[in-house]
C-alpha cells in the first residue's frame, strides 16, 4: 500500500517537473523571440573624444522628418571620451520588400551637440563611427571615421559656414552701396547652389550627402526652393528618383517623392500662367521662351541667345542615329558659329547620368527636360517624335520646322 502511494507521489512529482520544464522552455522561447525582434533593429556604435569638454553634456540627436529627437546623452569626464550604442531611427525603416521580405533601411541622419556646437553625421548601415574634436572648434575641426558620406557632409557644412561668413563681411563693407551688396550677395548665393548641384547632388543623387545638400538653409530659409523654382524642383526629383530605386519603402523616400511631385505640379501651373502672360510676346516673335538646367544644374533660357540664329533641337541621346547626328551638328556649329549660329539642344532623356556623359564635351547649349513629352513647352511646340528641330531667326521669330527643311545647311545660311 505504501509502495503504491509512493509510486503515485513520484508520478505526480515527475509530472510537475515536466510541466515546470515546459513553462521554463516557453518563457525562454518568448524571451529569445523578444531579443531576436529587438536585434532586428540595427544599432550603430559611436565613440570618440571631445577634448576640453570636461563636465559638459554631450547629446546624440536624431534628425527625423518631424524634427530633432534626443537619442542619448552623457556627462563627459576629464578625457572627453564617449561611447554610445544607438538603435537606428525607425523612421528609416520602410515596408518589407515584396521580393525578399526584408526591411528596407535608408540612410539615417544624426548629430552630436554640446550647447550650440553641432556635428552632423549619417548612418547607412550597422557600423562603428568615431569622432574626434576639440570643444573650441567642434563644428569645424572634427575628424570623423567610419562613414564616407559623413565626411562629404562636413565639406558641405563648411561651405555653408563660409558663405555665411562672406555674407556677414559683405554686410559690413562700407565701401559698397546697398545695391552692390545685394547683387554680390545674390552671386554668392547662386555660386553656392551651383556648387552643391554640380559637385554633390547631380554627381551622385543617390548618396546621403545629396539628400543633406537638398536641405541646406541660410538662416531659417531653405537654399533650394522645392515648391516653385523649376530648376530646384528638378534637382529634388532627381534625388527622389534615385532613392526610390534604392530605398523604395523608406519614409524619407516617400517624403522626397511627395515634395518633388508637389513642386512639379506647382511649376507646371506657374508655367501655364507664364505662357498666358507672355501671349503678346509669343504673337510678336513667334517663339515661346523656355528654360531648363544644363549639365551644371544652371538654368539656361532660349531667350539668352537672342540676336543669333538658333537651331532649336529636341532630341534623345539614346536614338539609334544619335552619334551620327551629333557629328552633323558639330560640323554645322564649327562652320557657322562665328557667323552667329547657336544651338539650343533639349534632351528628353530621363537618365541624367547618361545625358551628362553624352553632352559633357559638346560646345553648344545642352539642357535636359526630365518630364519628356509631358512637358507643357514641349507640347506647345508640337513635338511628337524625336528628333524634332526648328530654326529661329535673328529677331527671335520661328522661321522653319524640320518638316519644311530639305537642306539644313542652306536653311541656316539663309538666316545668317
Contact between residue 119 and residue 50 where contact means Cβ atoms under 8 Å apart: no
In a domain, 159, yes or no: no
Q: Is the predicted pLDDT of residue 224 greater than 90, yes or no?
A: no
**Does residue 338 sit in the same domain as residue 397?**
yes
Q: Is the predicted pLDDT of residue 148 greater than 60, yes or no?
A: yes
> Interior CA angle at 296 toward 374 and 143, to 5°?
120
* Mean pLDDT along residues 155-168: 93
**Does residue 289 sit in the same domain as residue 379?**
yes
* Residue 220 confidence (pLDDT): 73
* Mean pLDDT along residues 175-188: 83
In a domain, 160, yes or no: no
Q: Is 52 helix (H, G, I), strand (E, B) or coil?
A: coil
* Residue 33 confidence (pLDDT): 42
Q: Is the predicted pLDDT of residue 95 greater than 70, yes or no?
A: no
**Does residue 135 sit in the same domain as residue 226?**
no
* Residue 293 confidence (pLDDT): 92
**Does residue 301 sit in the same domain as residue 402?**
yes
Residue 72: give its domain's CATH number: 2.60.40
In a domain, 23, yes or no: yes
Instruction: Please tell me which residue, 202 or 309, carries the higher pLDDT value.
Output: 309
The range of the structural domain enclosing residue 251 comes to 165-272
* Mean pLDDT along residues 228-240: 82
* Residue 32 confidence (pLDDT): 42
Q: Is the predicted pLDDT of residue 286 greater than 80, yes or no?
A: no
**Does residue 70 sit in the same domain as residue 192?**
no
Residue 203: how many other CB atoms lie within 10 Å: 13
* Mean pLDDT along residues 287-309: 88
Output the nine-digit C-alpha cell for 149: 558620406
Nearest to 296 by CA among 212, 364, 356: 356
Output the nine-digit C-alpha cell for 315: 532630341
Q: Is the predicted pLDDT of residue 13 greater than 50, yes or no?
A: no
Domain count, the chain: 4
* Residues contacting residue 207 through CB under 8 Å, at least 6 positions apart: 149, 152, 200
* Residues contacting residue 112 through CB under 8 Å, at least 6 positions apart: 46, 58, 59, 60, 61, 118, 119, 121, 131
237-267 pLDDT per residue, tens:
888 888 888 888 788 888 888 888 888 777 6
Q: Is the predicted pLDDT of residue 168 greater than 50, yes or no?
A: yes
**Does residue 307 sit in the same domain as residue 411?**
yes
**CA pair distance 324, 242, nearest whole angstrom:** 31
* Residue 39 confidence (pLDDT): 47
DSSP 105: B
394-408 pLDDT per residue, tens:
888 888 888 888 999
| Burial (Cβ within 10 Å: 0-12, 13-18, ≥19) of residue 320 | exposed
In Å, what is the CA distance from 296 to each residue of 94, 205, 249, 374? Answer: 33, 13, 30, 23
**Does residue 257 sit in the same domain as residue 214?**
yes
Q: Is the predicted pLDDT of residue 132 greater than 90, yes or no?
A: yes
Contact between residue 204 and residue 210 where contact means Cβ atoms under 8 Å apart: yes
Residue 191: how many other CB atoms lie within 10 Å: 13
* Residue 182 confidence (pLDDT): 78
**CA pair distance 358, 352, nearest whole angstrom:** 10
Q: Is the predicted pLDDT of residue 43 greater than 70, yes or no?
A: yes
Residue 377: give its domain's CATH number: 3.40.30.10
* Residue 7 confidence (pLDDT): 52
| Lowest-pLDDT choice from 24-38, 111-125, 350-364 | 24-38
In a domain, 152, yes or no: no
Give percent of the chain with pLDDT exceeding 90.
38
Instruction: Please tell me which residue, 377 or 414, carries the higher pLDDT value.
Output: 414
**Does residue 291 sit in the same domain as residue 332?**
yes
Output the nine-digit C-alpha cell for 361: 564635351
Output the nine-digit C-alpha cell for 242: 534615385
| Burial (Cβ within 10 Å: 0-12, 13-18, ≥19) of residue 413 | middle
* Residue 153 confidence (pLDDT): 95
* Mean pLDDT along residues 46-52: 96
Residue 199: how many other CB atoms lie within 10 Å: 18
**Does residue 55 sit in the same domain as residue 29?**
no
> Interior CA angle at 233 toward 205 and 385, to 5°?
90
Contact between residue 223 and residue 216 where contact means Cβ atoms under 8 Å apart: yes
| Averaged pLDDT of the chain | 82
Nearest to 343 by CA among 355, 357, 356, 331: 331
Q: Is the predicted pLDDT of residue 278 greater than 70, yes or no?
A: no
Give percent of the chain with pLDDT exceeding 70.
81
**Does residue 358 sit in the same domain as residue 377?**
yes
Output the nine-digit C-alpha cell for 306: 537672342
Amino acid at each position: 500500500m505504501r509502495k503504491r502511494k509512493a509510486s503515485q507521489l513520484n508520478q505526480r512529482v515527475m509530472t510537475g517537473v515536466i510541466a515546470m520544464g515546459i513553462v521554463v522552455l516557453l518563457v525562454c522561447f518568448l524571451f529569445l523571440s523578444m531579443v531576436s525582434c529587438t536585434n532586428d533593429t540595427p544599432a550603430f556604435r559611436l565613440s570618440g573624444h571631445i577634448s576640453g569638454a570636461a563636465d559638459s553634456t554631450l547629446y546624440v540627436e536624431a534628425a527625423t522628418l518631424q524634427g530633432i529627437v534626443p537619442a542619448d546623452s552623457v556627462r563627459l569626464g576629464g578625457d572627453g571620451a564617449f561611447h554610445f550604442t544607438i538603435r537606428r531611427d525607425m523612421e528609416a525603416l520602410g515596408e518589407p520588400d515584396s521580393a525578399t521580405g526584408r526591411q528596407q533601411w535608408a540612410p539615417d541622419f544624426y548629430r552630436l551637440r554640446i550647447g550650440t556646437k553641432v556635428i552632423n553625421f549619417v548612418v547607412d548601415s550597422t557600423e562603428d563611427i568615431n569622432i574626434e574634436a576639440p570643444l573650441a572648434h567642434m563644428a569645424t575641426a572634427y575628424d570623423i571615421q567610419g562613414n564616407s558620406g559623413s565626411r562629404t557632409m562636413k565639406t558641405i557644412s563648411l561651405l555653408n559656414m563660409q558663405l555665411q561668413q562672406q555674407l556677414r563681411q559683405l554686410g559690413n563693407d562700407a565701401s559698397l552701396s546697398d545695391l552692390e551688396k545685394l547683387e554680390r550677395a545674390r552671386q554668392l548665393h547662386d555660386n553656392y547652389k551651383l556648387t552643391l548641384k554640380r559637385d554633390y547632388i547631380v554627381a551622385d543623387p543617390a548618396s546621403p550627402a545629396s539628400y543633406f545638400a537638398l536641405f541646406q538653409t541660410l538662416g531659417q530659409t531653405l537654399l533650394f526652393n522645392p515648391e516653385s523654382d523649376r530648376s530646384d524642383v528638378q534637382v529634388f526629383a532627381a534625388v527622389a528618383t534615385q532613392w526610390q530605386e534604392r530605398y523604395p519603402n523608406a519614409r524619407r523616400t516617400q517624403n522626397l517623392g511627395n515634395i518633388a511631385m508637389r513642386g512639379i505640379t506647382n511649376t507646371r501651373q506657374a508655367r501655364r500662367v507664364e505662357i498666358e502672360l507672355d501671349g503678346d510676346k509669343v504673337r510678336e516673335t513667334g517663339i515661346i521662351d523656355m528654360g531648363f538646367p544644363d549639365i551644371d544644374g544652371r538654368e539656361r533660357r532660349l531667350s539668352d541667345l537672342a540676336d543669333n540664329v538658333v537651331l532649336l533641337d529636341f532630341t534623345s541621346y539614346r536614338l539609334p542615329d544619335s552619334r551620327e547626328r551629333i557629328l552633323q551638328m558639330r560640323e554645322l556649329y564649327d562652320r557657322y558659329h562665328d557667323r552667329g549660329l547657336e544651338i539650343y539642344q533639349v534632351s528628353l532623356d530621363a537618365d541624367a547620368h547618361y545625358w551628362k556623359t553624352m553632352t559633357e564635351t559638346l560646345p553648344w547649349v545642352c539642357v535636359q527636360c526630365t518630364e519628356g513629352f509631358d512637358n507643357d513647352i514641349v507640347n506647345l511646340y508640337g513635338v511628337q517624335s524625336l528628333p524634332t528641330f526648328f530654326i529661329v531667326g535673328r529677331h527671335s521669330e520661328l522661321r522653319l520646322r524640320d518638316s519644311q527643311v530639305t537642306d539644313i545647311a542652306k536653311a541656316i545660311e539663309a538666316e545668317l
